[in-house]
Each structure stands twice: as C-alpha cells, then as structure tokens.
Amino acid sequence: MRMQTPSPYEQTLGEHLRSQGISRRSFLKFCGLLASSMALAPSMIPKIAEALEQAKRPSVIWLSFQECTGCTESLTRSHSPSLEGLIFDAISLDYHHTLQAASGDAAEHAREEAMKEHYGKYVLVVDGSIPLDNPGYSTIAGISNLDMLKEAAAGAAAIIAVGTCAAYGGLPKADPNPTGAVSVSDIIKDKPIINVPGCPPIPVVITGVIAHFLTFGLPELDSLGRPKAFYGQSIHDRCYRRPFYERGLFAETFDDEGAKAGWCLYKLGCKGPVTYNACATTKWNDGTSFPIESGHGCIGCSEPNFWDFGGFYKALSIPTGASGKNAVYAAAAGIAAGVAIGAMNKKSKAEAASSHQTVTVEELNQESGS
C-alpha cells in the first residue's frame, strides 16, 4: 500500500528533518547548541527538541529591500551542510528573490499565493532598509519597498527584521541618508517585530530566533527589539581580551608589540563595550574565531547607527566632531568677547576717575565746624 505524503505545511519539523536523513543525535546536538546560545538550562534541551519535533513548518516570506544580500550570504554560506542550514530548509520558504528558482511574474505570484493561503499565519522576514524619499530608489517588480512591506506585513503573524538595515536602517541610513532609509519598525507598528541586527547577523542567531519562534513563540526582547537570549551581553563582557583592558594594557597600533601580545583593542577603536551581540561566544565560521580574535576591534555592527559612530578606528570615548578646530574658534570668540568687555571695564574705570570729586581742606573744616 502506498503511503500518502503529507502536505509540506502539515509535516512537522521533526518528520521533515528525518526525511532529510538527520540523525536524532545531530538533532539533539543542535538543540543543545540552541539552548546554550539562548542561555537556557541544559534541562531545557529535551523540551526544545520536543517542541521543535512537533512544530509545523511555517510559511516564510523573505523580502529583500535596500540591502547587500550579505545577510542571506551569511546564512547560506555558513559552514555547510550545517544544522542551522537544515533548520532553515525545514521552514517553507515561499518567497526569497535571491534563492528562489522562479522569476518575474511567477515569483511574485508565489508571494501573493503564500500571503493569501497563510494569511495571518506566515512569518515575514525582512532584510534591507526601506527608502521613503523616493519610492523609485528601490522597487521589486515595479512595487515600491514601502508598499510591498505594508502589504506583506498586514497578514504576517510576526516579522523578523534580519540585519542592521532592516532592524535600524543600517548602512543606507548612514549620514546623510540619501534615500531617506528607515527600519521596518519605523513603518510597521501593529505587528510583533523581532530585530536580529548584525552586518551580517551570526547564522545561528538567525536560525536560533526562528527556532525560538517555532518552539516558544516570541522571544524576550531588549529595548532595541533584539532577543535577549542572543543580544543580552556585550562583546566586551565576554571578550577574552578583557583582562588586558582591566590592566590598562592596550595595543596602540595594529602591528606593535601590544597587538602581537593580544592586548585590548580599545584604543584602536573597538566598540565592544557598547555592542550587544553573541560574536564573542558563538563566534564565526564554524566557531573558528570572531573579529577581535583575528586582531580587529569590534565595529559595533549590531547597534543602530554604527556606521556613524565616529570612525571604526577611533576609540569609543573620542568625541565625533572636529573638537580641535572647534576649540580654536572658541578661543578666538573668547578673546574677542574678552577684548570687548576689557574695553568696557577700562571705560568705566576712566569714567569713575574723571567724575571723582576732590574735597578741599576748607570744605572739610566747614563740615566739621557746622
């Protein structure tokens, strides 16, 4: 008797992974990785496994606006074949104009169909910022980014803003923001939005957030809309070079003895103290390293406006404006005002001297005599 294949949307994630040849051991390993990266207790691993097993494959629509495709690259070119990648396969990605085979009308048709069929249930993933100055700056199939986002967001269960551009405007929003770029949360106010910033975000963080959404629903978010599980600690707090910061040992240039000895990169512009991300713990390229480990300071890519943070190679404490020039102008203004006030003082002194009335001896005698 021939078994009936379930529809892709009815298949649970567990069934799908098994059909892809993923062993239970590998699956549990992934669940363990998720639990640790979300800072959950090991006792949660079986619960994650159970929840993921039972989760239905959600329909996902991925919209790419003003972006560089780096976020998609980060995900698809992560150490392959990876479990994160397979979890990503396990969602039903119904529209992603970089990855889908269809093009033109067929592609847009796929999006419209997915939106209609799963109205109110699909997950909308957005990467890239939205230009508000002129809709013509970025369009897909003749539809402006703003219109497409509004239309797709209307039927979404939740929105995941992947990458700093979608989360906070990112590079397109960098001063002077020529396209009037804004983030997803600047436009959509009535849907739950999970920001997964980073330029690009760490692959396991993207899939981890998706897995969290499938298993436990919306994750707990910080004030900037980021899941606390992955963005709860600063790079600085988890940095292996932190002891050098504490001891006041800093590399002054990228090739001095301090740099060779692995000293703190604060003076070389590291933004680790104000950057929240999982790089220092999760690391990149299959856990090989992260920027600070390869000798370059953190550029703060998971924070809003990181591009305008006063220069990647300037220490965090340094003011962003041209302070030296400003001080010279201020001194000039001070001298000018000083000269004016000095002249006024001199004048009032001279006036006091000229209006000073002297008293004669006779006058004094008269007064004392009267």
Partner 1 sequence: MNEVDFLLWVKGSAFNIALFIFVAGLVLRLFEILSLGRKVNYAVPKGDPMQGGLREIFRRFGTDKATFQRSMITIVAGYVFHIGLFVVIFLLAAHVEVFKSVLGFGWPNLSTPVVDAFAVVTMIALVVVLIHRLQHPVKRFLSSPGDYVAWAVTFVPLLTGYMAYHHLLLSPQMMLGLHILSVEVLLIVFPFTKLMHTFTVFLSRWYNGASMGLRGVKS
Residue span binding partner 1 (CB under 8 A) among the ranges 56-64, 92-100, 125-133, 244-252: 244-252
Residues 6+ apart with CB under 8 A from 276: 222, 224, 226, 231, 232, 233, 234, 235, 302, 303
Cα distance between residue 200 and residue 307, in whole Å: 13
Q: Does 102 bind partner 1 (CB under 8 A)?
A: no
CB of 121 or CB of 238, closer to partner 1:
238
Query: How much is the CA Rg of the chain, to the nearest whole Å?
Result: 31
How many amino acids of this chain bind partner 1 (CB under 8 A)? 46
CB of 338 to partner 1, least distance (A): 3
236 is in an annotated binding site: yes
Judged by CB under 8 A, which of 320, 348, 365, 366 binds partner 1?
A: 320
Cβ contact 11:55 at 8 Å: no
E strands, the chain, where? Answer: 59-64, 92-96, 122-127, 130-131, 139-140, 143-144, 156-162, 181-182, 193-196
Secondary structure of residue 182 in the 3-state scheme: strand
Assess 303 for contact with partner 1 (CB under 8 A).
yes
Smallest gap from residue 327 Cβ to partner 1 (A): 5
Give me the least distance between CB of 246 and partner 1, in Å please: 5
The per-residue DSSP string of 212-273 comes to HHHHHSSPPB-TTS-BHHHHSSBTTTT-TTHHHHHTT-B-SSTTSHHHHTT-B-GGGT--GG
Q: Can you tell me the distance from the alpha carbon of 117 to that of 139, in angstroms, rounded to the nearest whole number?
A: 24
CB of 118 to partner 1, least distance (A): 33
User: Does residue 347 touch partner 1 according to CB under 8 A?
Assistant: no
Please identify which residue in 220, 237, 257, 286 interacts with partner 1, judged by CB under 8 A: 237
Q: Which is nearer to partner 1, 77 or 346 (CB)?
A: 346
* Element at 280 (helix H, strand E): helix 279-282
Residue 233: HSE in the Cβ half-sphere, 13 Å Cα cutoff: 14
Q: Is the dihedral of CA 219, 220, 225, 231 positive or negative?
A: negative
Could you say whether residue 339 binds partner 1 (CB under 8 A)? yes
Among 150, 247, 260, 347, binds partner 1 (CB under 8 A): 247
Q: Does 142 bind partner 1 (CB under 8 A)?
A: no
Consult the annotation and say whether 31 binds a ligand. Answer: no
Cβ proximity to partner 1, 341 vs 364, nearer residue: 341
- Classify each residue of 13-48 as buried b or exposed e, where b means 16 or more C-beta atoms within 10 Å of its C-beta: bbebbeeeebeeeebeebbbbbbebbebeeebbeeb
Applying CB under 8 A, the span of 67-75, 102-110, 300-308, 356-364 interacting with partner 1 comes to 300-308
Question: Applying CB under 8 A, does 165 fall inside the site for partner 1?
Answer: no
| Sites for partner 1 among residues 189-228 (CB under 8 A) | 223-224
Cα-based angle 25, 202, 23 (whole degrees, multiple of 5): 10
- Smallest gap from Cβ 34 to partner 1, in A, equals 25
Binding site, annotated residues: 68, 71, 165, 199, 236, 239, 264, 270, 279, 298, 301
| Interacting residues with partner 1 (CB under 8 A) | 223-224, 234, 236-237, 245-250, 266-267, 273-274, 303-305, 308-310, 314-321, 323-324, 326-327, 329-331, 333-335, 337-339, 341-342, 345-346
Binding site, annotated residues for [3Fe-4S] cluster: 279, 298, 301
